[in-house]
Amino acid sequence: MKNILGLTFAALVTLTGCKDIAVQAPDDFAELESGEHHAYRATNASGVVLAVRDEPNEPKGSLEFWAKALDNKLQRGGYKRVAAERITTDAGLSGKKLRYEIDRNGRPTAYWLGVFVTESRVIVVEAGGDTAFFDAETEKRVNEAFRSLHES
């Protein structure tokens, strides 16, 4: 799982470690230490992980630029994009949600990426886990968490 969540920005930009963004984790998730690569992390008992990253918008790019850059990187890494859609958070941030699948150690794995761009920041919400545990109820709760993204 660490490999899945570590892919996105590692090769694209320098980490800032900004901590003033948050999501409301589903009730069946427990918060984890944020660590050096995430502003926020949580997991459920089945190992589905939810995380938030925050990076400077450098080079200065639009939502389309950053979504495409991350999509290209993931697809080059073997991720198969299965869906893409616009998303708006409850706080009014517009973004793009990309859904992927990849085989990890013989197990199908789901990986979701929400990209939100402001003038100065690129915020990424990630969720991933074994597809056997990424059921309809978990998907619903993860969608709610993505929509709860806000700056504090």
Model confidence pLDDT, tens digit, residues 129-145: 999 999 999 999 999 99
Instruction: Enumerate the domain spans of the chain.
Output: 2-151
Please give the share of the chain, as a percent, with pLDDT higher than 90. Answer: 74
Instruction: Assign 4 a pLDDT band (cuts: 50, 70, 90).
Output: very low
Other Cβ atoms within 10 Å of 77 Cβ, number: 14
The CATH class, in words, for 2-151 is alpha beta
What's the CA gap between 128 and 143, in Å, rounded?
Answer: 12
CA nearest 114: which of 103, 130, 100, 101? Answer: 100
CB 90 within 8 A of CB 148: yes
For the segment 57-83, the average pLDDT, to the nearest whole number, is 96
- What is the structure's pLDDT at 124? 96
Phi, psi of 142 (to 5 degrees): -65, -40
- What is the structure's pLDDT at 41? 92
Cα torsion 152, 20, 85, 31: sign:
negative
Model confidence pLDDT, tens digit, residues 28-60: 999 998 777 888 899 999 999 999 999 999 999
